[in-house]
Each structure stands twice: as C-alpha cells, then as structure tokens.
Amino acid sequence: MIQLYCFERIIGSLAHQVTYDFSGKVAIVTGGTRGLGRQIAVRLVEAGCMVAVCGRSAPDDLPAGISFYQADVRDADQAKGLVDAVVAQHGRIDILVNNAGGSPASAVAEASPRFVDAILKLNMVGPLYMAQAAYPHMAAQKGGSIINIASVSGARPSPGTTIYGMAKAGLINMTQSLAQEWGRDAIRVNAIIAGLMTTENAEATYGDADAQAAVGQSMPLGRMGTGDDLAGAVLWLTSDDANWVSGARLQVDGGGERPYFLDLVKGG
C-alpha cells in the first residue's frame, strides 16, 4: 500500500512538471494577449522560451517573460515588421504559432463583402503573411517550427460560420503545402485541428454554464478542451520529439463530436 501510494505521488508530480526545454529559443504567438493564445504563450515561457505576442492594442497586463508588439497580422507590411522587430530584438525566430482567428456567427446569405474579407484575412491570409515573414529568417538559420491553429470547422461542415470554416480549411491546406515547399530548409509546418474549446467568451458560442456542461458531456472524453490542452499539443509539435512530423493535421478534439444521427436511432 505504501509503495503504491508513493508511486502515485511520483506520477502525479511528474504530470505537472515542464517536460520540454526551449531555452534560447524565440517564439511569436499571434493573438497571444488573451484566451487560448495567452495560455500557449505562458506554457512556452515556462519551457524556457522567449515569447512575443501581438495585437492591435496593448493588453492591460502580461505574464513575465512575454513581450508585446503592436501589429495587425492581416496587413502584410505589419506582419513583416513584427517578425523583423522580434528578430532584431532577439536575434532569431524559432517558433511561430498562428493562433489569431475567430468569427461571429453569420448566415452566408447575409454576409457582406467586407465581413467575408475580414474573416478570410484574419483566419487564413494573416497566417500566410506571418509565415512568409518568418520564412527567410528560419531558412537562414536552417530550422524552425510553424504551427497553425486550425479548427474542426475547417474539417467538417460549418453551418452558421461557413466563411470561418472556409478559411480554416484553407489554412489546413496551406499547412500541408508549406510543409512540402519549405521542408528542405528544415522548417516544419503543422496544423492543430482544435475541437470545442472553453474560452473567456465561451458563453457567446455555447450558451450559459449549464449549456456548456451539456456540450462537454456530449464529448467522448466528457468535457470541452482548454488552453492547456492546446498548449500541450503546441509544445509537443515544437519539440525534438516531433522532429520528423511536418504537414500533420493533429486533432485536439477530445475524440470528436458525436454524430447527431446516432441520437435519432433507437439504441444509439
């Protein structure tokens, strides 16, 4: 009994230790001032990384080890200026996490050209601009890791957020294409297909706490995902443990969403 207790204590302790060492590496996390992106940035800092985050306006506060750069990644010149500024400050760029994204619900029939353009730029074109800006630096240092935060909306129908789904589908294709184009420069490009996640504005997407609990219970693992779940996948894909993983579409979705028709089938 004592031996079992000690073993459980050891395993529990190890589960909460930082298992990656990114000392000396420099990362940019777009959309890293809040929500899921902020949690990714914090985990990278905990692993020893120097982390830069960006946004159109400065946040009230940021955890230690994270620096802020003002930039709108939807603009190619600002994306390039951001990457160049980080390299000028730190001498290199090893990791790019294209996390900035999102979309309010919108019926396609009512979506204006301006809305369509904004959603596509934020979720697909912005990541492309950032990747283009990071490429020459990563190629010169012969290595780098680009991780695109995609969504299940880009891998299955996305009614109500069709334009967002289109953009994320394009991001997934871009990931696989760049992995082949830039592999000879030792640049790995991967996508995380994020499932249903709890964020600070989850109520706008999933409803109140009871509704969110019901959604979580519908998932195979019994809950929605968290920023820590997403960050863990980012750290693994960035680590040497994944140094032959490129062009991957890593699903971080708790087992996926239950097909609706099963609830209509007797005994389903």
**Catalytic residue numbers, as ranges:** 164
Number of domain units in the chain = 1
* pLDDT for residue 211: 67
CA 239 to chain centre: 15
| Domain assignment present for 8 | no
| The residue type at 243 | N
Contact between 152 and 253 under an 8 Å Cβ cutoff? The reply is: yes
Residues 219-244 pLDDT 10s: 767 777 788 899 999 999 999 999 99
CA distances from residue 199 to 96, 124, 132, 228, 244 in whole angstroms, order as listed = 21, 21, 29, 11, 31
| Domain assignment present for 2 | no
Residues 25-54 pLDDT 10s: 999 999 999 999 999 999 999 999 999 999
Residues 132-168 pLDDT 10s: 999 999 999 999 999 999 998 889 989 999 999 999 9
Domain at 93, CATH number? 3.40.50.720
| Domain assignment present for 13 | no
Q: Record the pTM.
A: 0.86
DSSP H helices, the chain, are 2-14, 35-46, 76-90, 113-120, 126-140, 162-181, 202-206, 209-217, 227-238
Whether the pLDDT of residue 17 is over 80: the answer is no
| Domain assignment present for 238 | yes
What would the two tokens of residue 82 be?
A: 């951001």
Q: Give residue 81's domain range.
A: 21-254
User: What's the start-to-end Cα distance of the chain, in Å?
Assistant: 42
| Domain assignment present for 234 | yes
What does the DSSP assignment read for 77-125? HHHHHHHHHHHHHHS---EEEE---------GGG--HHHHHHHHIIIII
| Domain assignment present for 112 | yes
Contact between 165 and 157 under an 8 Å Cβ cutoff? The reply is: yes
